[in-house]
Structure 1
Amino acid sequence: MNIYQRIGLKRVINACGKMTILGVSAVDRAVMEQAAEAAANYVEIDALIDRVGVLVSAHTGAEDSCVTSSASAGIAISVAAVISRGAPGLVERLPDSSGLANEVVLLKGHSVNYGAPVTTMIRLGGGVPVEAGQANEAEPFQVEAAIGERTAALLYVKSHHAVQKGMVPLAEMIRIAREHQLPLIVDAAAEEDLRKYVAAGADLVIYSGAKAIDAPTSGFITGRAPLIAACKAQYHGIGRAMKIGKENMLGLLAALDRYAVQRHDGRADIPRLQAAIDRINTLRGLSAELEHDEAGREIYRARVRVHPEVLGLDAVAVEAQLRGGSPAIYTRKYYLNAGVFSIDPRALQGDDLDLIVERLRQLAEQGVREGE
């Protein structure tokens, strides 16, 4: 029985990945020991923020970094930074940015909801979102046409939530930003490569600490020193409502050090996934295959297809029964309308995968009995 069961909540099997609705990551005990030690001591917070920025930057290759409470906070703080450039009077004014260059141009296919709209985070920072192109196709000329005298920055969202084809490539967005002398912000919240986007020429790159890195609740912005200084200045403005505690800062550093030497290898998940796939393929009304992450990350999953004409249940009903049971099994359900869901192995613990297959077997047998 885990700690959440002891306070009266259901056990949860997380087969959908590093998701905020399920608490994101299971943090390593050694990381939490560092956080606990930090929590038990005092420190000058401004000096800590600066020092953490230096240490984070050793992992990203950037000039400097600003620690945040989450990637969402990182978006709002980054937008506030490019609008105010750290000027104290403007920092205190935001999110009221009337009369300032405050427009943030992003591709329409990147205007996503990941539990909250990315446009809301832009507005929290005082920005006005300006979408370029169409939801399924965007061209460089459309981005350039969206740029005007009130443009403060371009934003590029690298996420599985975003449209993956027909969008303007990152390199082209960087070129446009350079030609128009505008900063480019990259939301790379769940990305695994901590150096890629800085090396490519992005000015500010935002990561979640709690996703790929398996840190306590945290995030950071990494990039060019003048803009990072403007990000830190927001802790005297909108960032005050988004502050991160000393314990999570040190937990983030411990997780980054661990991540540098113990990064998850998605290919290592393939054998156990294939074994589960083979078992699912013996079940009536279900079939499964190996799939690669839609955003190109080195993540592999089991993609399960429901055959309602055989099973007697469609994918929506199967997912609802998995989620509504005890333990509650959460799968990756973005394509339920196409009759499929996926099992992500990264957050599975102990016998979780066996329990998922067993629950699917029970549903398949239930379908047989009801069809008799």
Structure 2
Amino acid sequence: MPTLHHDLGVPPAINASGRMTALGGSVLGDGVIAAMGDAARHHVVMDDLLDAVGREIARATGTEAGCPTTGAASGVAIAVASLIAGTDVSRVEALPDPGGAPCEVILPRGHSVYFGAPIRQMIALGGGRPVEVGSANKVTADHLAGAIGPRTAALLYVQSHHAVQKGMVSLAETIEVGRRHDIPVIVDAAAEEDLKHWPATGADLVVYSGGKAVGGPASGMICGSAARIAACRAQYGGIARPMKVGKETLFGLVQALRDYGTAEPGGHRARMEKLAARLADLPGITTRVVGDEAGRAIHRTELTVDPAAAGRDAATLASELASTGVHLRDHLAVTGRLLIDPRPLRPDEEDHLVDRLTALVEGGAR
């Protein structure tokens, strides 16, 4: 029976890249799908539902309160807005114009990332003015402290594989600077897996994606103290209005949070070692298993491509695979490396990946 995939001409992709927005985030579990279907069949008082979902977020993150969002990007914008406008209705409705309120958001230059859009733009949507400090590969606590002034509203720390990992000020140092100068700290922990760890660091607001590690629908959440989250919720009367979350997504997020931690634990080292061995004899391909560069409990198979022996460079190989519906993690392709992420990859899809990669490399090697 034809499906909408067929009708739209958009076939399902084999995702070996990770839980990426560009590939639809996560494949939803049956429980999450059922919860979203249940929500679709009924009306509900949305303010009551948002309160209830906030309590679920708080439970999952070990914080006082939570605010659901459409994603981590909107979460950053809302968090920034909340620290500029608070719950003052006039200031909420004036954003993104901050008026005379402190609006500068200081972040390490190595954390000024592009994740599909620049994080600087998310800050600006919330009424903030991004202030990058230090160099791309060297930022210290003194850089942060030296940039603080009367217009400083927040410090932003980005915990992500997108961010520079070496030479950056630590989160502990960032929080210490914030405490010393009475400046709140926002942590963008979009794809992080330990939901209770990042709030426990002392950060004032922590932003997560609901559609990545958590395995929910495209969504997000902010967690923190009750007062901070009340200010986040107030932004739904302002800049967050076009970012409002539907009831189906809210039900799906709750079910994903309740299910989170009951599935296969992270790591997958043994599985990736077997996959690396299956691909090790391909011409021009050297394989090994590597850990996640941002420190998460994820192991991936890394493919290092020798262009002369493989018949093409890593970027070309990734592009050729993508044309067959197989998507590898290719952000390191310029260095000759591709990665296979096990988390979204079913065993049968893994077999398809091996078959298509083998056909390309063996057919095009010289």
TM-score range, shorter chain: over 0.9
Alignment match, 1:349 = 346
Instruction: Find the aligned partners of 1:358 and 1:183 in 2 and give their Cα distance.
Output: 51
Alignment match, 1:333 = 330
> Offset of 1:119 from its aligned partner?
0.5
Equivalent residue of 1:59, what SS?
Answer: helix
Alignment match, 1:163 = 164
Runs of 4+ in 1 over 4 A off after TM superposition: none
Q: Deviations over 1:154-211 (max 9, x none)?
A: 1110001001111111111111111111111000010001111111101100000000
Correspondence 1:140-151 to 2 at 5 A: 140-151=141-152
Instruction: Find the aligned partners of 1:63 and 1:354 in 2 and give their Cα distance.
Output: 45
Question: Closer, same or farther in 2 for the Cα pair 1:46/1:188, shift >3 Å?
Answer: same
Equivalent residue of 1:261, what SS?
Answer: coil
Alignment match, 1:56 = 57
Alignment of 1:281 with 2:289, yes or no, is: no
> Offset of 1:68 from its aligned partner?
0.8
Identity among equivalent positions (%) equals: 46
8 Å CA contact 2:108, 2:132 repeated in 1: yes
Alignment match, 1:219 = 220
Correspondence 1:50-199 to 2 at 5 A: 50-199=51-200
8 Å CA contact 1:107, 1:133 repeated in 2: yes
8 Å CA contact 1:5, 1:11 repeated in 2: no
> Offset of 1:103 from its aligned partner?
0.4
> Offset of 1:349 from its aligned partner?
2.1
Equivalent residue of 1:130, what SS?
Answer: strand
> Offset of 1:53 from its aligned partner?
0.7
Alignment match, 1:10 = 11
> Offset of 1:3 from its aligned partner?
4.5
Q: List gaps (5 residues or longer) in structure 2.
A: none
State the one-letter code of the partner of 2:342.
P
Question: Closer, same or farther in 2 for the Cα pair 1:57/1:136, shift >3 Å?
Answer: same
State the one-letter code of the partner of 1:272.
R
Equivalent residue of 2:32, what SS?
Answer: helix
* TM-score between both structures, scaled by the size of structure 1: 0.95
> Offset of 1:143 from its aligned partner?
0.4
> Offset of 1:2 from its aligned partner?
6.2
Alignment match, 1:304 = 303
Alignment match, 2:44 = 43
Equivalent residue of 2:143, what SS?
Answer: helix
2:360 to 358, 363, 367: 363
8 Å CA contact 2:67, 2:233 repeated in 1: yes
8 Å CA contact 1:2, 1:11 repeated in 2: no
8 Å CA contact 2:70, 2:218 repeated in 1: yes
Alignment match, 1:229 = 230
State the one-letter code of the partner of 2:296.
R
* TM-score between both structures, scaled by the size of structure 2: 0.97
State the one-letter code of the partner of 1:122.
I
Alignment match, 2:245 = 244
State the one-letter code of the partner of 2:291.
H
Q: List gaps (5 residues or longer) in structure 1.
A: none
8 Å CA contact 1:333, 1:342 repeated in 2: yes
> Offset of 1:248 from its aligned partner?
0.9
Aligned length in residues: 365
Once the two structures are overlaid, the 10-residue window that deviates more, 44-53 or 115-124, is 44-53
Equivalent residue of 1:266, what SS?
Answer: coil
